[in-house]
Amino acid sequence: MASQTRARTTTFPGAHRSAAKTAGHWLLASVGKKVLRPGGRETTHWLLDRIGIPGRTVVEFAPGLGITAREILARDPRRYVGVDSDAQAVKTVSAILPAGDHQVIEASAEHTGLTAGCADAVLGEAMLTMHTDRRKLEIMREAARLLRPGGVYAVHEMGLTPDDLSPETKDEIRKALARSIRVNARPLTIPEWVALADEAGFQVTDTYCTSMSLLDPRRVIADEGVLGTVRIIGNVLRRPEVRRRVLAMRRVFTTHRDHLLGVGIILTRTAD
Protein backbone atom coordinates (compact mmCIF):
# COMPACT_ATOMS: atom_id res chain seq x y z
CA MET A 1 0.00 0.00 0.00
CA ALA A 2 2.81 2.36 0.98
CA SER A 3 4.63 1.72 -2.29
CA GLN A 4 1.40 2.32 -4.27
CA THR A 5 0.99 5.67 -2.58
CA ARG A 6 4.58 6.57 -3.36
CA ALA A 7 4.16 5.57 -7.00
CA ARG A 8 1.07 7.74 -7.35
CA THR A 9 2.47 10.83 -5.68
CA THR A 10 5.98 11.06 -7.10
CA THR A 11 5.06 11.29 -10.77
CA PHE A 12 4.22 14.99 -10.74
CA PRO A 13 6.44 17.98 -10.01
CA GLY A 14 6.05 19.42 -6.51
CA ALA A 15 5.19 15.95 -5.14
CA HIS A 16 7.76 16.33 -2.38
CA ARG A 17 5.62 19.00 -0.68
CA SER A 18 2.59 18.29 1.48
CA ALA A 19 -0.90 18.90 0.07
CA ALA A 20 -1.26 21.86 2.45
CA LYS A 21 1.83 23.62 1.11
CA THR A 22 2.23 22.62 -2.52
CA ALA A 23 1.52 25.17 -5.26
CA GLY A 24 -2.04 24.99 -6.59
CA HIS A 25 -1.02 23.79 -10.06
CA TRP A 26 0.98 20.85 -8.69
CA LEU A 27 -1.84 20.05 -6.27
CA LEU A 28 -4.22 19.82 -9.23
CA ALA A 29 -1.67 17.78 -11.17
CA SER A 30 -1.50 15.34 -8.24
CA VAL A 31 -5.19 14.51 -8.68
CA GLY A 32 -4.86 14.04 -12.43
CA LYS A 33 -5.58 17.51 -13.78
CA LYS A 34 -3.53 17.98 -16.91
CA VAL A 35 -4.53 21.39 -18.22
CA LEU A 36 -3.19 23.91 -15.70
CA ARG A 37 -3.80 27.18 -17.48
CA PRO A 38 -6.43 29.86 -16.90
CA GLY A 39 -7.98 29.92 -20.38
CA GLY A 40 -8.04 26.14 -20.90
CA ARG A 41 -7.36 24.22 -24.10
CA GLU A 42 -9.52 26.66 -26.10
CA THR A 43 -6.97 29.44 -25.51
CA THR A 44 -4.04 27.10 -26.18
CA HIS A 45 -5.56 26.08 -29.53
CA TRP A 46 -6.26 29.69 -30.43
CA LEU A 47 -2.56 30.45 -29.86
CA LEU A 48 -1.20 27.32 -31.59
CA ASP A 49 -3.27 28.10 -34.68
CA ARG A 50 -1.52 31.47 -34.97
CA ILE A 51 2.17 30.79 -34.48
CA GLY A 52 3.02 28.72 -37.58
CA ILE A 53 4.62 25.54 -36.19
CA PRO A 54 5.31 23.13 -39.12
CA GLY A 55 8.99 23.23 -40.10
CA ARG A 56 9.80 25.94 -37.53
CA THR A 57 11.82 26.12 -34.31
CA VAL A 58 9.55 26.51 -31.30
CA VAL A 59 10.73 27.24 -27.76
CA GLU A 60 8.20 26.53 -25.01
CA PHE A 61 8.69 28.21 -21.66
CA ALA A 62 7.45 26.17 -18.68
CA PRO A 63 5.96 23.10 -20.40
CA GLY A 64 5.06 21.59 -16.99
CA LEU A 65 3.36 18.25 -17.69
CA GLY A 66 4.00 18.51 -21.43
CA ILE A 67 0.39 18.70 -22.56
CA THR A 68 0.97 21.61 -24.93
CA ALA A 69 4.37 20.16 -25.86
CA ARG A 70 2.54 17.12 -27.27
CA GLU A 71 0.31 19.38 -29.34
CA ILE A 72 3.27 21.39 -30.64
CA LEU A 73 5.16 18.21 -31.55
CA ALA A 74 2.08 16.81 -33.32
CA ARG A 75 2.21 19.86 -35.59
CA ASP A 76 5.66 18.87 -36.86
CA PRO A 77 8.12 21.58 -35.83
CA ARG A 78 11.67 21.34 -37.17
CA ARG A 79 12.90 21.73 -33.58
CA TYR A 80 11.18 21.88 -30.18
CA VAL A 81 12.97 23.20 -27.08
CA GLY A 82 11.21 23.13 -23.71
CA VAL A 83 12.58 25.24 -20.85
CA ASP A 84 11.36 24.51 -17.33
CA SER A 85 12.93 25.38 -13.97
CA ASP A 86 11.48 22.24 -12.36
CA ALA A 87 13.65 19.12 -12.69
CA GLN A 88 10.69 16.71 -12.57
CA ALA A 89 8.87 18.68 -15.28
CA VAL A 90 12.01 18.43 -17.45
CA LYS A 91 12.05 14.67 -16.92
CA THR A 92 8.33 14.31 -17.65
CA VAL A 93 8.47 16.31 -20.88
CA SER A 94 11.77 14.77 -22.04
CA ALA A 95 10.04 11.38 -21.90
CA ILE A 96 7.51 12.37 -24.57
CA LEU A 97 9.95 13.78 -27.13
CA PRO A 98 9.96 11.93 -30.46
CA ALA A 99 13.22 11.29 -32.31
CA GLY A 100 14.61 14.42 -33.89
CA ASP A 101 16.25 17.69 -32.98
CA HIS A 102 14.18 18.21 -29.83
CA GLN A 103 15.18 18.80 -26.22
CA VAL A 104 14.01 20.00 -22.81
CA ILE A 105 16.39 21.95 -20.61
CA GLU A 106 16.28 22.73 -16.92
CA ALA A 107 16.66 26.50 -16.80
CA SER A 108 14.84 29.67 -15.82
CA ALA A 109 12.97 31.26 -18.69
CA GLU A 110 14.64 34.57 -17.88
CA HIS A 111 18.13 33.09 -18.52
CA THR A 112 17.76 30.15 -20.88
CA GLY A 113 21.35 30.10 -22.17
CA LEU A 114 19.95 29.41 -25.67
CA THR A 115 21.38 31.19 -28.72
CA ALA A 116 19.97 34.60 -29.63
CA GLY A 117 17.65 34.53 -32.63
CA CYS A 118 17.32 30.72 -32.56
CA ALA A 119 13.51 30.61 -32.46
CA ASP A 120 10.70 31.31 -34.90
CA ALA A 121 8.15 31.13 -32.09
CA VAL A 122 8.18 31.13 -28.29
CA LEU A 123 5.17 30.01 -26.29
CA GLY A 124 4.58 30.27 -22.56
CA GLU A 125 1.44 29.42 -20.59
CA ALA A 126 0.52 30.01 -16.96
CA MET A 127 3.99 31.06 -15.92
CA LEU A 128 4.39 34.84 -16.21
CA THR A 129 1.46 35.48 -13.86
CA MET A 130 3.25 33.75 -11.00
CA HIS A 131 6.15 36.23 -11.11
CA THR A 132 6.65 39.86 -10.10
CA ASP A 133 6.25 42.41 -12.88
CA ARG A 134 10.04 42.85 -12.96
CA ARG A 135 10.58 39.11 -13.47
CA LYS A 136 7.76 39.02 -16.07
CA LEU A 137 9.66 41.67 -18.02
CA GLU A 138 12.94 39.72 -17.77
CA ILE A 139 11.21 36.61 -19.14
CA MET A 140 9.58 38.57 -21.96
CA ARG A 141 12.95 40.16 -22.84
CA GLU A 142 14.48 36.69 -22.98
CA ALA A 143 11.70 35.64 -25.38
CA ALA A 144 12.54 38.70 -27.52
CA ARG A 145 16.24 37.77 -27.46
CA LEU A 146 15.53 34.20 -28.58
CA LEU A 147 13.28 35.22 -31.47
CA ARG A 148 14.43 36.12 -34.93
CA PRO A 149 13.04 39.52 -36.05
CA GLY A 150 9.38 39.05 -36.95
CA GLY A 151 9.15 35.94 -34.74
CA VAL A 152 6.14 35.55 -32.48
CA TYR A 153 5.71 35.08 -28.74
CA ALA A 154 2.44 33.43 -27.70
CA VAL A 155 1.38 34.17 -24.14
CA HIS A 156 -1.42 32.49 -22.16
CA GLU A 157 -1.93 34.05 -18.75
CA MET A 158 -4.39 35.30 -16.20
CA GLY A 159 -5.97 38.69 -16.85
CA LEU A 160 -7.87 41.25 -14.81
CA THR A 161 -10.92 43.14 -15.99
CA PRO A 162 -12.10 45.86 -16.43
CA ASP A 163 -9.07 47.82 -17.57
CA ASP A 164 -9.70 50.47 -14.91
CA LEU A 165 -10.07 48.01 -12.02
CA SER A 166 -9.18 49.83 -8.80
CA PRO A 167 -5.76 49.19 -7.22
CA GLU A 168 -7.54 48.07 -4.01
CA THR A 169 -9.53 45.37 -5.83
CA LYS A 170 -6.42 44.20 -7.71
CA ASP A 171 -4.62 43.92 -4.42
CA GLU A 172 -7.48 42.04 -2.78
CA ILE A 173 -7.62 39.55 -5.69
CA ARG A 174 -3.85 39.02 -5.72
CA LYS A 175 -3.83 38.36 -1.98
CA ALA A 176 -6.76 35.94 -2.21
CA LEU A 177 -5.05 34.07 -5.07
CA ALA A 178 -1.74 33.92 -3.20
CA ARG A 179 -3.44 32.56 -0.09
CA SER A 180 -5.37 29.86 -1.92
CA ILE A 181 -2.92 28.73 -4.61
CA ARG A 182 0.22 29.30 -2.48
CA VAL A 183 1.86 31.15 -5.37
CA ASN A 184 2.26 34.90 -5.61
CA ALA A 185 -0.02 35.21 -8.62
CA ARG A 186 -0.05 38.71 -10.10
CA PRO A 187 -2.54 38.82 -12.99
CA LEU A 188 -2.61 42.02 -15.07
CA THR A 189 -5.19 43.93 -17.08
CA ILE A 190 -4.79 43.71 -20.87
CA PRO A 191 -3.28 47.25 -21.08
CA GLU A 192 -0.80 46.25 -18.35
CA TRP A 193 0.21 43.11 -20.31
CA VAL A 194 0.51 45.23 -23.46
CA ALA A 195 2.70 47.83 -21.71
CA LEU A 196 5.10 45.13 -20.48
CA ALA A 197 5.21 43.55 -23.95
CA ASP A 198 5.99 46.93 -25.46
CA GLU A 199 8.82 47.47 -22.98
CA ALA A 200 10.23 44.04 -23.87
CA GLY A 201 10.32 44.86 -27.61
CA PHE A 202 7.04 43.40 -28.85
CA GLN A 203 4.00 44.59 -30.71
CA VAL A 204 0.63 43.06 -29.86
CA THR A 205 -0.78 41.35 -32.96
CA ASP A 206 -3.89 39.69 -31.55
CA THR A 207 -5.61 39.00 -28.22
CA TYR A 208 -8.15 36.44 -27.00
CA CYS A 209 -10.12 36.64 -23.77
CA THR A 210 -12.18 33.99 -22.05
CA SER A 211 -13.44 33.31 -18.55
CA MET A 212 -11.01 32.09 -15.87
CA SER A 213 -12.90 28.84 -15.37
CA LEU A 214 -10.10 26.46 -14.42
CA LEU A 215 -12.27 24.66 -11.86
CA ASP A 216 -15.74 25.09 -13.39
CA PRO A 217 -17.28 21.70 -14.28
CA ARG A 218 -17.95 22.66 -17.90
CA ARG A 219 -14.36 23.80 -18.49
CA VAL A 220 -12.93 20.79 -16.64
CA ILE A 221 -14.91 18.44 -18.89
CA ALA A 222 -13.84 20.40 -22.00
CA ASP A 223 -10.18 20.24 -20.92
CA GLU A 224 -9.95 16.79 -19.36
CA GLY A 225 -12.80 14.80 -20.98
CA VAL A 226 -15.58 13.04 -19.06
CA LEU A 227 -13.42 10.13 -17.86
CA GLY A 228 -10.60 12.43 -16.82
CA THR A 229 -13.07 14.58 -14.89
CA VAL A 230 -14.53 11.55 -13.09
CA ARG A 231 -11.01 10.43 -12.16
CA ILE A 232 -10.12 13.91 -10.84
CA ILE A 233 -13.31 14.12 -8.76
CA GLY A 234 -12.67 10.65 -7.31
CA ASN A 235 -9.10 11.58 -6.37
CA VAL A 236 -10.20 14.86 -4.77
CA LEU A 237 -12.89 13.12 -2.74
CA ARG A 238 -10.42 10.53 -1.46
CA ARG A 239 -7.98 13.14 -0.09
CA PRO A 240 -9.56 15.50 2.49
CA GLU A 241 -6.64 18.00 2.58
CA VAL A 242 -6.62 18.20 -1.22
CA ARG A 243 -10.41 18.61 -1.20
CA ARG A 244 -10.14 21.55 1.22
CA ARG A 245 -7.49 23.22 -0.92
CA VAL A 246 -9.35 22.67 -4.21
CA LEU A 247 -12.59 24.03 -2.75
CA ALA A 248 -10.75 27.07 -1.35
CA MET A 249 -9.19 27.78 -4.77
CA ARG A 250 -12.55 27.35 -6.46
CA ARG A 251 -14.16 29.75 -3.97
CA VAL A 252 -11.59 32.44 -4.79
CA PHE A 253 -12.02 31.95 -8.55
CA THR A 254 -15.81 32.11 -8.16
CA THR A 255 -15.80 35.12 -5.83
CA HIS A 256 -13.67 37.11 -8.26
CA ARG A 257 -15.01 35.62 -11.49
CA ASP A 258 -16.20 39.02 -12.76
CA HIS A 259 -12.65 40.34 -12.59
CA LEU A 260 -10.59 37.33 -13.71
CA LEU A 261 -9.86 36.28 -17.29
CA GLY A 262 -7.92 33.72 -19.26
CA VAL A 263 -5.95 35.74 -21.80
CA GLY A 264 -4.14 34.73 -24.99
CA ILE A 265 -1.86 37.29 -26.61
CA ILE A 266 0.18 37.03 -29.80
CA LEU A 267 3.21 39.30 -29.70
CA THR A 268 5.47 40.02 -32.65
CA ARG A 269 9.09 40.90 -32.06
CA THR A 270 9.77 44.36 -33.39
CA ALA A 271 13.01 44.99 -35.30
CA ASP A 272 16.01 46.16 -33.17
Ligand X SMILES: C[S@@+](CC[C@H](N)C(=O)[O-])C[C@H]1O[C@@H](n2cnc3c(N)ncnc32)[C@H](O)[C@@H]1O
User: By C-alpha distance, which of 125, 124, 103 is closest to 114?
Assistant: 103
The residue nearest ligand X at its CB is 64
| Touching ligand X, residues 119-138 (CB under 6 A) | 125-127, 130
CB of 154 to ligand X, least distance (A): 11
Core vs surface per residue 175-210: b (16+ CB within 10 A) or e? ebbeebbbbebbbbbbebbbebbeebbbeeeebbeb
| Touching ligand X, residues 213-242 (CB under 6 A) | none
DSSP state of 54: T
Q: Does 37 help bind ligand X (rule: CB under 6 A)?
A: yes
| Touching ligand X, residues 3-22 (CB under 6 A) | none
Q: What is the CA radius of gyration of the chain?
A: 18
β-pairing, 188-189 vs 202-211, is unpaired
Residue 267 parent element (H or E):
strand 260-269
Q: Does 38 help bind ligand X (rule: CB under 6 A)?
A: no
Q: Does 108 help bind ligand X (rule: CB under 6 A)?
A: yes
Which of 8, 75, 85, 211 touches ligand X (CB under 6 A)? 85
Q: Does 89 help bind ligand X (rule: CB under 6 A)?
A: yes
106 vs 270, beta carbon nearer ligand X:
106
Residue 183 CA to residue 179 CA, distance in Å, equals 8
Residues that bind ligand X (CB under 6 A): 25, 35-37, 61-65, 67, 83-86, 89, 108-110, 125-127, 130
